[in-house]
């Protein structure tokens, strides 16, 4: 039982990342009708926002320590962050320690800007082109962004730790009446799940309860009619693209302490997220979120040793297997509208 609860937690966690990326993808598809293969790259850029802020906060000057030597036997040069000079050692260290949560603030304007530039600079020229063209150009863009990040940050993963207060793990089992140590779960992954729930809730609330959101939803349903009412729907859709980019970016920022950011992390998530969107139903926001969590949990269960002993390799194909079954029985996906991909 404890193993099952642990895999459910794991699934919720994976599902959080899938759902956040899929949510952004669906927002873009639903508003602009664009199949954005560069969306994984936005997730990756988000993670590198966390890396960048961490690097900015740890910018240092060197102080020679005559008592120690470096690898060549010369006096050791010790890096002292400017933060320590500005705020004192304790406060400076605390600011650096909280670089990932601080990167949330840093990443929102950056990601919105990246999203708007991407939409205005390239993607708007492909609105009236076939989906195949959109996929090709956005996939190309993803590769370009990936290579730029690699040129700047290198190919190796870059450790980006969570604040000390959130490292370590929480004894979830004791809370549920199990033995101590039976279900231990990392604090930061719990934070990630809570954060994902918050963002998803905020996006839904924004679309549901604001005038802007209402117009966007109307535009999603019938773009031409909304346009005829004198509303500049294109500008709103551009803003939605920026917001979708911010959602993907935030997912990346908070993911940075879970797995050290690397330049191909976007591609690692992209294909899975597309399967999530298709399973949930193209254009359906609740579908994307539900499918994200569903497939995350299924994937976690499939990687249990007991299951793999019966069905070897199932953990690698479970998501695609579920996608095939759902598409065969319900081609529009779990919550998709009929004929979305047919126009």
Partner 1 sequence: MSKTTLTRRGVLRTGAVAGAGVALPTIFTASSARAFTNAPTGGSVTLGFNVPQTGPYADEGADELRAYELAVEHLNGGGDGGMLNTFSSKALDGSGILGKKVEYVTGDTQTKSDAARASAKSMIEKDGAIMITGGSSSGVAIAVQGLCQEAGVIFMAGLTHSNDTTGKDKKANGFRHFFNAYMSGAALAPVLAKMYGADRKAYHLTADYTWGWTQEESIKAATEALGWETVNAVKTPLAQTDFSSYIAPVLNSGADVLVLNHYGGNMVNSLTNAVQFGLREKQVNGKNFEIVVPLYSRLMARGAGENVKGIFGSTNWHWSLQDEGSKAFVQSFGTKYGFPPSQAAHTCYVQTLLYADAVQRAGSFDPCAVGEALAGFEFDGLGNGPTLYRAEDHQCFKDVLVVKGKENPTSEFDLLEVVEVTPRAQVEYAPDHPMFAGGSLGACNPGA
Cβ neighbour number for residue 309 with a 10 Å cutoff: 8
Phi, psi of 5 (to 5 degrees): -60, -40
Out of 55, 56, 58, 76, the residue judged to bind partner 1 by CB under 8 A: 76
Q: Could you tell me the smallest distance in angstroms from the CB atom of residue 323 to partner 1?
A: 18
Is residue 126 within 8 Å of 241, Cβ to Cβ?
no
Report the alpha-carbon angle 246-160-256, nearest 5.
35
The binder of partner 1 chosen from 59, 61, 64, 70 (CB under 8 A): 70
Least distance (Å) between residue 303 CB and partner 1: 4
Question: Could you say which of 18, 185, 237, 274 contacts partner 1 (CB under 8 A)?
Answer: 185
Report the nearest approach of partner 1 to the CB of residue 202 (Å): 25
**Element at 113 (helix H, strand E):** helix 99-121
6 binds partner 1 (CB under 8 A): yes
Residues 6+ apart with CB under 8 A from 82: 59, 60, 61
Query: Which residue's CB is nearer to partner 1, number 181 or number 210?
Result: 181
By beta-carbon proximity to partner 1, the closer residue of 2 and 234 is: 2
The Cα 199–Cα 196 span in angstroms is 5
In angstroms, the CA 156 to CA 158 distance is 6
Instruction: Figure out which of the listed residues 60, 91, 181, 225 binds partner 1, where binding follows CB under 8 A.
Output: 181
Spell out the residues 6+ positions from residue 261 whose beta carbon is closer than 8 angstroms to its own.
44, 47, 48, 50, 51, 153, 157, 158, 160, 252, 255
> H helices within 154-232, ranges in order?
172-175, 187-209, 211-221, 223-228
Which of 37, 48, 126, 188 touches partner 1 by CB under 8 A?
A: 188
Closer of 12 and 335 to partner 1 (Cβ): 12
Residue 101 binding partner 1, by CB under 8 A:
no
Judged by DSSP in three states, 73 sits in coil
How big is the site for partner 1, counted in residues (CB under 8 A)? 47
d(CA 313, CA 321): 12
Tokens of residue 322, six digits: 């579920």
* Nearest distance, CB of residue 279 and partner 1, angstroms: 19
User: Containing H/E element for 86?
Assistant: helix 82-87
Tell me the sheet residues that pair with 81: 60
CB 134 to partner 1: min, Å: 26
User: Which one of the spans 10-18, 19-27, 193-201, 225-233 is the region binding partner 1 (CB under 8 A)?
Assistant: 10-18
Stretch that binds partner 1, among 43-51, 63-71, 214-222, 226-234 (CB under 8 A): 63-71
Six token digits for residue 180: 């101590």
CB 207 within 8 A of CB 243: no
- Binding residues among 246-285 for partner 1 as defined by CB under 8 A: 258-260, 262, 264-265, 268
Which one among 87, 122, 169, 174 touches partner 1, defined by CB under 8 A? Answer: 169
Window contacting partner 1 (CB under 8 A); options: 100-108, 129-137, 177-185, 241-249:
177-185
Could you tell me which stretch among 34-42, 98-106, 163-171, 324-332 binds partner 1 (CB under 8 A)?
Answer: 163-171
CA distance 106 to 50: 8
State the minimum distance, in angstroms, from the CB of residue 316 to partner 1.
6
Per rule CB under 8 A, is residue 314 in the interface with partner 1?
no
The residues, ordered by sequence, that sit 6+ positions from 66 with a Cβ below 8 Å of its Cβ are 75
Q: Which residues bind partner 1 (CB under 8 A)?
A: 2-3, 6-7, 10, 13-14, 68, 70-72, 76, 78, 150, 154-159, 161, 167-169, 181-186, 188-189, 258-260, 262, 264-265, 268, 299-300, 303-305, 308, 315-316
């Amino acid at each position: 039982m404890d193993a099952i609860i642990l895999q459910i937690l794991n699934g919720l966690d994976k599902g959080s990342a899938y759902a956040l990326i899929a949510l952004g993808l669906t927002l873009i598809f639903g508003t602009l009708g664009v199949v954005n293969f560069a969306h994984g790259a936005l997730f990756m850029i988000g993670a590198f926002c966390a890396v960048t802020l961490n690097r900015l906060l740890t910018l240092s000057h060197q102080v020679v320590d005559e008592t120690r030597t470096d690898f060549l036997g010369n006096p050791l040069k010790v890096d002292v962050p400017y933060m320590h000079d500005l705020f004192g050692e304790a406060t400076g260290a605390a600011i650096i320690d909280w670089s990932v949560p601080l990167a949330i603030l840093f990443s929102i304007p950056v990601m919105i800007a990246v999203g708007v530039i991407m939409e205005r600079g390239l993607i708007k020229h492909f609105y009236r082109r076939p989906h195949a063209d959109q996929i090709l150009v956005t996939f190309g863009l993803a590769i370009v962004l990936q290579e730029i990040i690699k040129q700047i940050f290198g190919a190796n993963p870059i450790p980006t730790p969570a604040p000390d207060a959130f490292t370590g793990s929480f004894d979830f089992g004791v809370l549920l009446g199990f033995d101590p140590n039976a279900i231990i779960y990392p604090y930061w992954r719990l934070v990630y799940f809570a954060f994902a729930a918050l963002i998803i809730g905020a996006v839904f609330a924004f679309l549901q309860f604001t005038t802007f959101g209402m117009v966007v939803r109307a535009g999603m349903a019938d773009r031409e009619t909304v346009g005829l009412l004198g509303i500049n729907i294109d500008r709103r859709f551009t803003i939605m693209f920026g917001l979708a980019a911010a959602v993907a970016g935030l997912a990346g920022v908070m993911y940075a302490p879970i797995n050290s950011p690397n330049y191909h992390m976007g591609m690692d998530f992209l294909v899975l997220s597309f399967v999530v969107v298709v399973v949930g139903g193209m254009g359906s926001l609740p579908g994307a979120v539900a499918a994200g969590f569903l497939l995350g949990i299924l994937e976690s269960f499939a990687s249990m040793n007991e299951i793999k002993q019966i069905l070897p390799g199932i953990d690698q194909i479970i998501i695609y297997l579920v996608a095939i079954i759902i598409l065969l029985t319900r081609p529009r996906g779990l919550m998709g509208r009929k004929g979305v991909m047919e126009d």
